Amino acid sequence: MKTVTTEIRLARKSDAPIVAEVHDEAWRAAYRGLIPGAELEKLIAKRGPGWWDAAIRKGNRIALLGFGDEIAGYANYGRNRAKALSYEGEIYELYLRPKFIGLGLGRSLFDSARKDLEAHGLESLVIWALSDNDAAMRFYRGLGGKPVARSSETFGDRALDKTAFGWAA
């Protein structure tokens, strides 16, 4: 019997290429059919290794979830950017490679990011999800998130509705 270990750690500069790879794979799976194809390709192309390298060098909080010898997912988080919402922290992104979805790893990554935010004095948090992304909506509701705001974001000529989920301190 083989034992597989999981580890969650902050990204290092040398991790930029793998974060870009996970981002590419996860976004294609999550948003194909939701975000218009050309717009999705532009968004993915902007987030190559150079973008992630700069984010890591700036000190952005990017947690990587290792599963065995693979990086299965990442979370990017920090202070809440939507000042109209009374939440201190925000998880900007939380993604897994498709083959790791359904194993409880997303919950582990969420819990780790939330604990790190709390350790930095950010005790309440918010996460945005495209409202038509059924998997994300179920996931955040399953974690106890309450819908607290709605907005929209434009991708090319298409406006997509998004929902903010909140967790109180």
Q: List pLDDT tens digits, range 43-95.
A: 999 999 999 999 999 999 999 999 999 999 999 999 999 989 999 999 999 99
CATH C-level class of 6-123: alpha beta
Separation CA 161–CA 163 (nearest Å): 7
Global pTM value? 0.95
pLDDT tens profile 11-57: 999 999 999 999 999 999 999 999 999 999 999 999 999 999 999 99
The domain spans of the chain are 6-123
Distance separating alpha carbons of residues 64 and 67, to the nearest angstrom: 10
Within 10 A of 138 (CB to CB), how many other CB atoms are there? 11
CA pair distance 139, 145, nearest whole angstrom = 9
Give the orientation angle of helix 16-31 with respect to helix 37-46, to 10 degrees: 170
